[in-house]
Amino acid sequence: MSDDTWVKFEAFAREELGRPLFGGRLELKPETRLEQDLGVTGQDGAEFIENWAKEFHVDVGGFPFRRYFSPEGQALLSSFLGLFSKRLRRVPLVPLTLGMLLEATRRGRWDTAEIEAAAGGHT
């Protein structure tokens, strides 16, 4: 992709994410985390990834959604149950950043190990 990949990606993200609840402009940087900073989780996360892959022609076969996104509405229940059983505790999520998606956009495919290594490692 050309050097203006971030500009195109940022415009796409703004369109997909909309405006913040209290107005203003979203603060989007490569280090912005989808779930932790932008609140994109569960089905919304899956839709964001699917739309991104389609828009930028990125092969996302095998994308590990559960590695990066919590199921909607289950975080509180999982936390509560985890107090009583280690077996029921959710594995901590790996932060998925806009920079990681930008890297995959440039490559044209998602490779978890390579993308996370390029982002500073979370493998």
Task: Quote the tokens at residue 113.
Answer: 């190990």
pTM over 0.75: yes
| pLDDT tens digits along 34-84 | 998 998 988 999 999 999 999 999 999 989 998 999 876 555 555 555 555
Domain regions of the chain by residue span:
5-118
Distance CA 101, CA 86 (A): 32
For the chain, give the percent of residues with pLDDT over 70.
75
Token look-up 């059983």 returns 85
Residue type, 50: E
- CA nearest to 96, candidates 27, 24, 48, 43: 48
Report residue 37 as tokens: 């900073």
